[in-house]
Amino acid sequence: MTKSNSSHISDIAHHLHPYTNAIRHESVGPIVMERGEGIYVYDDQGNRYIEGLAGLWSVGVGFGEKRLVEAARKQLDALPFYHTFAHKSNGPAIELAAKLAEITPEGLNHVFFTNSGSEGNDTVIKIVWYYNNALGRPKKKKFLARTGAYHGVTIASASLTGLPNNHRDFDLPAIPVHHLTCPHFYRYGQPGETEAQFCDRLIAELEEVIAREGADTIAAFIGEPIMSAGGVLPPPEGYWARVQEICRKNDILVVADEVITGFGRLGTAFGSDFYGIKPDLMTLSKQITSSYQPLAAVMISDEVYRVIAENSGKIGTFGHGYTASGHPVATAVGLENVKIIEERGLVANAAAMGKILHQRLAKFRDHPLVGEVRGAGLLAAVELVADKDSRAKFPEPGKVGGWFFNRAHSHGLIVRNIGDALAFCPPLIITEAQIDEMVKAFEITLDETATWVAAGMPA
């Protein structure tokens, strides 16, 4: 038995994979990745793939970046771990907190470090509850989120998530949350409705929910600037300005989930810059270290921080934190990662390459399987449909997207199928030539998928 075969067998025998059909995995086994270089990854069979999703929306500076490896090595040599409880700190955590306060939207001057975006949004929930209790508003605890949103998988953050498979058989939601209509015009606009009218309807719904539930019971509105894991779903024009206006009027905090859109993904420093969002809290992760180390951060406004700080003085502590909050190795890598993004102009590159990516994908709008091409910056999706005119989905949602996803591997391309939408989120370092290479592999796979659909989708 070869080493490769042995590892595949061991993976099937012992490794329960996230977001995976465990029964199917017992039959097909894993694709074992061995190394990465730039926008490419290589499996243990020697196959090379364009990582069209940057791993999990996250490897901004690409694979094999030696500066990040060296930042981790140096910190491991100096101080491999220390906690940040009870007034303790470390240099990289201090420097990264200051840097994040500098580059995030104005007023977000305080940072709480966690290990993942899920933990970050869990922390947001606890901060918001702590904040309202400190202000003597014990009823003001409900969250507003959206259908189709993704905010994490812990019990509380998954409750904010608006995707059925994150709730199904997990007894979720488990916190008070109301999911509003998904702000995706192509899929949720009504017949004859313009995009402006769709936006009006979303805003009217928001106002109706606040009036029905009572503003004194609603603590915060949380949203991704552009929904990503739910299908790369841009909001209608003017949506975020109107949502914020209503939230401010009703003393409802605005939380921007920038786990995917942070650090240049939309061609601006943060998605909040792209859409004009002025959040009270912001969650960051993924590209904060290009996922070379687990790290996330919750950015907190001066106003919210002051209430939390004073309440911790009254109680004697802010009783929340993780063993690895502000981990010195993770924050050292994060600090170096942000330096690379700035020094190499990767935000500007995302803007320029994003325009090229959307130009290249636009030609598929006339393809018989393609219903919509959408996105912003270096984030895009192509949605496949059974009928272009009616926008009808396939009878078994996700089957066609899943076939495409698997087939694309044969052409050296990794994308993500979200149902029957195919998502692109390549590393920020991608070049025009590499975009052309990626789109060519996509085109070949799309044509093969059309042939398979025309043949009746044989097993």
Task: Report the pLDDT averaged over residues 16-43.
Answer: 97
Residue 2 clears pLDDT 70, i.e. is over it: no
Establish how many alpha carbons lie within 13 A of residue 283's alpha carbon, considering only the half-sphere containing its beta carbon: 28
Q: Is the pLDDT of residue 3 over 90?
A: no
User: Could you read off the pLDDT of 247-285 as tens digits, one per residue?
Assistant: 999 999 999 999 999 999 999 999 999 999 999 999 999
CATH numbers and ranges of domains, the chain: 31-61+345-454 (3.90.1150.10), 67-343 (3.40.640.10)
- The 10s digit of each residue's pLDDT in 103-158 is 999 999 999 999 999 999 999 999 999 999 999 999 999 999 999 999 999 999 99
Residue 130: which of 319, 257, 326, 258 has the closest Cα?
Answer: 319
The pLDDT of residue 4 is 67
Checking if the pLDDT of 1 tops 60, the result is: no
Q: Taking 50 as the threshold, does the pLDDT of residue 426 lie above it?
A: yes
- Distance from C-alpha of 304 to C-alpha of 324, rounded to nearest angstrom: 23
> pLDDT band at residue 459, thresholds of 50, 70 and 90?
confident
Closest CA to 300 of 254, 351, 239: 254
In this structure, what token pair is assigned to residue 329? Answer: 């190795």
Place of tokens 């990516």: 357
Longest Cα–Cα distance of the chain, Å, equals 70
Contacts 24+ apart (CB under 8 A), 86-93: 89/326, 90/326, 90/328, 90/331, 91/328, 92/328, 92/329, 92/331, 92/332, 92/334, 92/335, 93/326, 93/327, 93/328, 93/331
- List the structure tokens of 217: 């019971």
